[in-house]
Amino acid sequence: MSTQFVLSTFEINEIENQKKYYENYKAIAIEALKIVQKQRGWVSDLAIIEIAKILNINSSDIESIATFYSQIYRQPVGRNIIRYCDSVVCYLTGYQKIKKALENHLSIKTGHTTLDQRFTLLPICCLGNCDKSPTIMINEDLHSKLTPESALNLLESYK
Amino acid sequence: MNNKINRLEETHPLTWRMRDDKKTVWIKEYCNKNGYIAFKKTLHQKTSKDVINLVKESDLKGRGGAGFPTGLKWSLMPDNIHDKKEHRYLLCNADEMEPGTYKDRFLIEQLPHQLIEGMLLSAFAIQATRGYIFLRGEYIKGEHVLKKAIQEASNFGYIGKNILNSGFNFNLFLHTGAGRYICGEETALINSLEGRRANPRFKPPFPAMFGLWGKPTCVNNVETLSNVPAIVLHGPHWYKTLSHSSDTGTKLMGFSGNVNNPGVWELPFGITAREILEDYALGMKSGLSLKAWQPGGAGTDFLVSKHLDLSMDFNTITKAGSRLGTALSMAVDNKTNMVSLVYNIEKFFARESCGLCTPCRDGLPWIVKILYSLKNKEGQTNDIKNLEKLCFSLGPGKTFCAHAPGAIEPLQSAMKYFRSEFEAGINIKNQI
């Protein structure tokens, strides 16, 4: 297996572009991880080393950030990420049934990816959509007032 | 918004500009609705001290949950600037992640310019030259809206150098997070913005003296900042008349849970929770009755039906044994088991502990384990005693920040009002 990993020109430019917003370039670290993740789906160990090089920060510092924030993925994920809100209002309005329906339909447990790499299922903190709960987010789309059936119907539009 | 509310500029400073179709109010419409007038007048007619005094006189309290007086917080910023090249920072805390809270999203998505005008006025008051809106990464629509709104405000000449030839400089940037509830704690937010783990910092020094990159920094919540334009435009006396209680102005309040019309409304302080629940949220769903409620987010103590007639303001709710918090209330129905509900809440707090201090890092998962066994009727004889001990060990003053003290509030109040449900979780076979 090749150990070559090169950040694309686009990724480097996007990261460099962030420098105008901050006094200290260390502040770009989290955004840099997000930029790389947006292109590749997740952030590998080798990607962390490359990000550390262009920001001139120790790679263990970048690693410590990457492992802290829940929206940075340190292992490959599916093409679509389903994040169900498991906070207290969605608990009252029945997120558990939606979670169960998704797990059964996709034949995976929370935290896992389907064999065809189409979906990864994850929990998420309160999505601030409590008046329209239960709520899930698929990639960047918010879906509200769900039932187990309507949640499963959504999946068709995510290939 | 509920149709029954007649939103007027005189009575609803936060929401009167909102559109009935709930679409974003962009800059032209905002300006047509008296937007940026307060800012333009202030730039040429007022000093920074004038603005601080106006906000002090208004008695505006922070809307992020703690209720600290905003004018006082601003006046903690160092008065004299020795080196004009040094930046001072205004940070907008838009990292809304408290379970049960959905008010900042409402303001960001529909009225971004009210927030930006509030930030401009606040920056002028504390002489900040740079500002960041720290937005939680999951608010995708909010990110698009704020990016466009900041660009619009720049195009109109309201952001940048020598704004409208006043000599005032202020640059505003949007910074998005990558998940973690603790980023909403003001010093953890600063650490996260600096590109570190979002661990809270020890205070003192306070951010006003040593904040972002060691410079004077003020952190205010979205709703707090959104109140500033109306206070400056119409004055503190008018602002005080809006309220029916000792806390001034209006507040975004609401009810969620199994109610008929969950939502958020701009209401005067002093309204009762019963009025919100019955008149706006239209009561509990058919076949359900109210068992308990949290006044303002997952980290506030449960109250019960007898507290519904109390005034929704900081002092009254504190006296009743809880906190107003974000004032976005949640109704618990009679079919919900309190142990299971509290298990859900504590699992959230345990997952979101930043891990910096031991009581929080180790105590919260312990609470979760005990609640799990009680929920499954497999509890041990000492479980309730241990939970009480843990509530003591994680209480105020024993941890680095307010995460653990907030986490135990729902637990201790649930044990106070619904102790029998916890006792029912102890397995008779485990009794010695």
Tell me, what's the pLDDT at B82? 64
How do residues B322-333 score in pLDDT, each as one tens digit? 999 999 999 999
Architecture of the A80-156 domain? 3-Layer(aba) Sandwich (3.40)
Amino acid identity at A29: A
B301 interfaces chain A, CB cutoff of 8 Å: no
| Chain B nearest-CA residue for A21 | B173
Which residue in B110, B196, B294, B330 has the most chain A C-beta atoms within 10 A of its own C-beta, making it the best mutation to test that interface?
B196
Sorting pLDDT into bands at 50, 70 and 90, what band is A3? low
Tell me, what's the pLDDT at B23? 97
Whether pLDDT at B215 is above 80: yes
A125 is in an annotated binding site: no
Q: Cis check for the bond before B69: say yes or no (omega within 30 of 0).
A: no
Backbone angles phi, psi at B355, to 5 degrees: 85, 5
What is the arithmetic mean of pLDDT over A115-120? Answer: 97
What is the arithmetic mean of pLDDT over B243-261? Answer: 96
Same fold, A9-68 and A80-156: no
Contact A69 B98 (CB under 8 A): no
Select from B139, B348, B354 the Cβ nearest to the Cβ of A87. Answer: B348
Which 223-262 residues of chain B touch chain A by CB within 8 A?
Answer: 254, 256-258, 262
The Cα–Cα gap between A106 and B176 comes to 31
Contact B104 A128 (CB under 8 A): yes
**Element (DSSP H or E) covering residue B263:** strand B263-268
Contact B345 A142 (CB under 8 A): no
Query: How many CB atoms are located within 10 Å of the residue A60 CB?
Result: 9
Q: Which residues of A touch B (CB under 8 A)?
A: 21, 23-24, 26-31, 33-34, 64-65, 68-72, 83, 86-89, 91-93, 124-133, 137, 140, 142
* Contacts of B122 by beta carbon, 8 Å cutoff, 6+ apart: B51, B74, B90, B128, B218, B220, B225, B228
Tell me, what's the pLDDT at B86? 79
What is the arithmetic mean of pLDDT over B225-252? Answer: 96
| DSSP 8-state class, residue B69 | B
CATH fold, domain A9-68, is: Arc Repressor Mutant, subunit A (1.10.10)
- What are the residue boundaries of the structural domains of chain A, listed by start? 9-68, 80-156
Backbone angles phi, psi at B94, to 5 degrees: -115, 35
Contact A30 B258 (CB under 8 A): no
**pTM listed for this prediction:** 0.95
How do residues B19-54 score in pLDDT, each as one tens digit? 999 999 999 999 999 999 999 999 999 999 999 999
Contact A130 B140 (CB under 8 A): no
| Chain B nearest-CA residue for A57 | B195
Q: How far is CA B131 from CA B52, B128, B139, B181, in A?
A: 18, 7, 19, 21
Nearest residue to B352 (alpha-carbon basis) of B344, B343, B339, B361: B361
Nearest residue to B328 (alpha-carbon basis) of B414, B256, B243, B225: B256
* Contacts of A7 by beta carbon, 8 Å cutoff, 6+ apart: A15, A36, A47, A50, A51, A54
Contact B195 A24 (CB under 8 A): yes
Which 69-88 residues of chain B touch chain A by CB within 8 A?
Answer: 87
Contact A88 B298 (CB under 8 A): yes
How do residues B377-394 score in pLDDT, each as one tens digit? 999 999 999 999 999 999
